[in-house]
């Protein structure tokens, strides 16, 4: 039987400790790696050792809490810096072993965590009332929800799930436990805030008000799923023969756009005509000087390549793709933006006052 002073070398060592010795993920163990620790022995939580064992050997040591945001950053870096085969294997391993780990060490919570503390109930009476504006209500409910989660503490399963970014937000928890807040019916009318949570149960009037919100949600989900799905199919068929070619088409027409901070990241790897040097320049993370300025962007809209789209107009993304048939990808992107990014988000919305009517063609232009 391994003791805590023994070093963990493999994933099998991790699973052996968790299954046979019933240790917790925050139990400290020794860990060393020729690349990550330069053969030095460090004491780390066994959960963090497990995570590092799933990453490429040359990837830097991760010895901090990994939430959804950090995980996305790590995966993006792996795809940028490592060969496609290795990056794909890493992501597949993370997916496979995460399911295995969740069956060995599932996150759970005590039913007592769903009993609202008396101090939170008293605070709720002071800060929430029917006369608060919808946006103010959401802000106050979020603050109150965070106070509730702080009282539960870091050992709470509910707090761990929300903090990790895996599921839900503090406001979602507040809607469940504290107050539903204002809702919008199918005609766009905003109700007075509902001051009871789902766990308290709703009165007949409150239930009737919520029925209007449910109809609106179902309508938006139905419309927002069908339209982008159909458009995705049509785009895929229309562009199925479109390919990326390596040669530069040398087109002299450019797409003039204003670079905002919001779209700057999406433009990295694309090319624009630098007026100072009169040469094509690649946009990188260091090209912050173009933010809030108009630039002449090389764009597939004006590409003159006779066989498809040249790699210069398309940008450096062409080098990372495992296929040159980008017509299929364009349909997939539209579907993801519309269905996943817009319609499916509706079912996870807790406060419906932020929703707008679906106008997919115009919304897509903004995206």
DSSP string for 263-300: HHGGGTT-EEEETTTTEEEE--TT-GGGTTSEEEE--G
Give the three-class secondary structure for 237. helix
| Cβ-defined contacts of 356-364 (< 8 Å, 24+) | 357/188, 357/220, 358/220, 358/223, 358/224, 358/227, 360/223, 360/224, 360/227, 360/228, 360/231, 363/338, 364/228, 364/231, 364/334, 364/337, 364/338
Residues 6+ apart with CB under 8 A from 191: 182, 183, 184, 185, 209, 212
The mean pLDDT value for 232-239 works out to 80
**pLDDT at 365 > cutoff 90:** no
Q: Are 271 and 315 in contact (CB under 8 A)?
A: yes
Q: How high is the pLDDT of residue 339?
A: 63
Q: How high is the pLDDT of residue 350?
A: 41
**pLDDT at 359 > cutoff 60:** no
Average pLDDT across the chain, whole number: 84
How confident is the model over 260-272, as pLDDT tens digits? 988 898 899 999 9
**pLDDT at 235 > cutoff 90:** no
Residue whose C-alpha is closest to residue 227's, from 127, 338, 326: 338
Domain boundaries, the chain: 7-104, 111-219, 243-324
CA distance 37 to 51: 14
Q: List the single range of 73-77, 251-255, 260-264, 318-322 with lowest mean pLDDT.
A: 318-322
Q: What percent of the chain has pLDDT over 70?
A: 88
Q: Are 49 and 97 in contact (CB under 8 A)?
A: no
| The most confident of 49-53, 78-82, 163-167, by mean pLDDT | 49-53
Residue whose C-alpha is closest to residue 332's, from 227, 243, 229: 229
User: Where are any strands of DSSP class E within 170-320?
Assistant: 243-245, 255-258, 271-274, 279-282, 294-297, 308-310
**pLDDT at 148 > cutoff 90:** yes
Q: List the single range of 96-100, 291-295, 362-366 with lowest mean pLDDT.
A: 362-366
Q: How high is the pLDDT of residue 101?
A: 93
CA distance 136 to 353: 12
The mean pLDDT value for 70-93 works out to 90
Q: How high is the pLDDT of residue 356?
A: 43
Q: How high is the pLDDT of residue 352?
A: 43
CA distance 138 to 329: 38
Residue 307 pLDDT grade (very low, low, confident, very high; cuts 50, 70, 90): confident
Residue 357 pLDDT grade (very low, low, confident, very high; cuts 50, 70, 90): very low
CA distance 60 to 36: 5
Q: How high is the pLDDT of residue 192?
A: 87
How confident is the model over 93-137, as pLDDT tens digits? 999 999 999 999 888 888 888 899 999 999 999 998 888 888 789
- Residue with more model confidence, 299 or 348: 299
Residue 95, burial from CB neighbour count under 10 angstroms (0-12, 13-18, 19+): exposed
Q: How high is the pLDDT of residue 343?
A: 57
Residues 6+ apart with CB under 8 A from 260: 291, 292
Structure tokens at 134: 């919808």
How confident is the model over 159-207, as pLDDT tens digits? 989 988 888 889 989 989 999 988 888 888 888 889 998 888 899 999 9
Residue 344 pLDDT grade (very low, low, confident, very high; cuts 50, 70, 90): low
Residue 239 pLDDT grade (very low, low, confident, very high; cuts 50, 70, 90): confident
- Residue with more model confidence, 226 or 367: 226
> Which residues are paired to 272 by β-bridges?
281, 297
CA distance 161 to 106: 11
């Amino acid at each position: 039987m391994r003791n805590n002073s023994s070093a963990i070398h493999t994933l099998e060592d991790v699973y052996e400790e968790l299954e046979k010795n019933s240790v917790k993920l925050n139990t400290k163990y020794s860990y060393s790696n020729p690349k990550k620790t330069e053969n030095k022995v460090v004491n780390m939580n066994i959960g963090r050792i497990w995570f590092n064992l799933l990453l490429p050997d040359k990837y830097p040591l991760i010895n901090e809490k990994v939430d959804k945001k950090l995980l996305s950053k790590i995966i993006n870096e792996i795809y940028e810096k490592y060969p496609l085969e290795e990056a794909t294997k890493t992501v597949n391993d993370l997916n496979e072993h995460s399911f295995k780990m969740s069956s060995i060490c599932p996150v759970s919570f005590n039913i007592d965590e769903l009993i609202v503390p008396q101090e939170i109930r008293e605070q709720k009476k002071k800060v929430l009332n029917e006369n608060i504006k919808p946006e103010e209500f959401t802000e106050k409910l979020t603050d109150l929800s965070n106070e509730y989660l702080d009282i539960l503490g870091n050992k709470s399963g509910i707090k761990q799930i929300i903090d990790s970014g895996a599921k839900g937000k503090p406001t979602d928890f507040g809607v469940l436990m504290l107050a539903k807040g204002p809702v919008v019916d199918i005609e766009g009318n905003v109700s007075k805030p509902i001051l009871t949570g789902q766990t308290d149960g709703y009165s007949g009037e409150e239930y009737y008000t919520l029925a209007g919100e449910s109809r609106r949600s179902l309508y938006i989900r139905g419309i927002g799923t069908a339209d982008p799905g159909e458009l995705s199919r049509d785009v895929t068929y229309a562009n199925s023969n479109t390919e990326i070619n390596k040669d530069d088409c040398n087109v002299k027409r450019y797409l003039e756009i204003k670079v905002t901070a919001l779209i700057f990241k999406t433009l990295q790897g694309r090319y624009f005509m630098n007026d100072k040097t009169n040469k094509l320049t690649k946009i990188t993370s260091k090209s912050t000087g173009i933010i809030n300025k108009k630039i002449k962007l090389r764009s597939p809209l004006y590409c003159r390549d006779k066989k498809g789209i040249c790699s210069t107009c398309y940008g450096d993304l062409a080098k990372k793709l495992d296929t040159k048939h980008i017509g299929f990808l364009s349909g997939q992107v539209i579907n993801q933006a519309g269905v996943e990014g817009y319609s499916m988000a509706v079912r996870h919305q807790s406060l419906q006052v932020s929703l707008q009517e679906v106008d997919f063609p115009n919304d897509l232009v903004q995206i």
